[in-house]
Structure 1
């Protein structure tokens, strides 16, 4: 057992800093907002300088005030989580061994998009990696990173769904594909992935249903039709026709079917 358990920073679906062995209240949501923003910025940056960090976190105050705020935040953070941040010259970084959920998402996504080839590594990510980055935070550096992660996750989910379908793991493939659809309901490539998985499984009716659902959605929301690329997926599938479960009684000489009713020759009488 490690003498010093590994701290973990959570940024997806909200900020949380967990330092094992310390009072959870001192490292959770009750941390001052400036300290939370400092930790989040270090998680999303690569060895930023003190000057760059102060400018990003306190852009609307004079430089000396920004540096003073940074020093105060570092002091408060060191009291709540000693050793979490390392200072090397003018650079700041999280200490080695700190775990960050955004880093885990990045690692999973990169392996999903460009896998080393091991089938065992094909998997739908844990639900904790599917949340938005720091919802309710509107700093420019957060907004840019949030969109980058959203796009990366979508690409990875679609890639994983395709690979799982190729391996015949259709249930897991649909789970990944629908996770992409939930993340962005109007993203056509995610719906195309759903249709492809149904086709790979031989479920033609489900493929048509998924296509029609998307077509209705984009026509209602955007006033456009699906692209030719999506339409080609289902254009050769015959539309299913409703068939009766039984013949209904009819007047003599008349047979009711799904087609137009046709008089029976045997039932005609000469005039």
Structure 2
């Protein structure tokens, strides 16, 4: 089966050893769609893989995670877009399950799947952090159109995995990520999108593997404390100062799983 309404945009950076695995996982989807590579660091590694798998490459001049994601969204004009991270693996039914959710609801804003983590070639058992995230998503699962329930879920942390998200761009016109954030730009995006009328659609199945490794952006953000400061900034959007301080004690501890 094939759809013309969706694009996977692989946000590629430098010479990732995992890029080919990501490409192959997208080519093995039960529903086929357009796949392109977007990069600010064109190089022979990316070009050779694009040629091998007959994929187009679009480039932009400035690097940075927010710039890369915005460039990815701008690189296609399909109704639905998934920003695929170059290190991650998408299980064969990821797109089919996501589109089933999105096409069943004309008010859909985003759909996102559950996920597991992969490290050193091994799919990890659910950490305490991932178990907490699943619990936090329960309000969204049962009340996808409720802004109140979305805010209650997101007020406890970033429980939505960014590479597991598919965007309904027809209902998110002119949406862009906030470049003032470098670690939590996805959480900040859910905060803004959540204010819109429409649905957050949760596919309660682990349909992708988020790779954890030392060179990942998440690991880098934790090491230089960007994530901690941005976590606190996001909590302040939902809670008064006293509760923010309490939440930060638990949230900093959760970073140990990366």
* Structures share fold, TM-score greater than 0.5: no
Q: Which has the higher strand share?
A: 2
Greater relative contact order, per chain length (Cα 8 Å cut-off, separation 6+): 2
Q: What TM-score, normalized by structure 2, do the two folds share?
A: 0.27
Q: Which protein is bigger by CA-based radius of gyration?
A: 1
Q: Which has the higher helix share?
A: 1
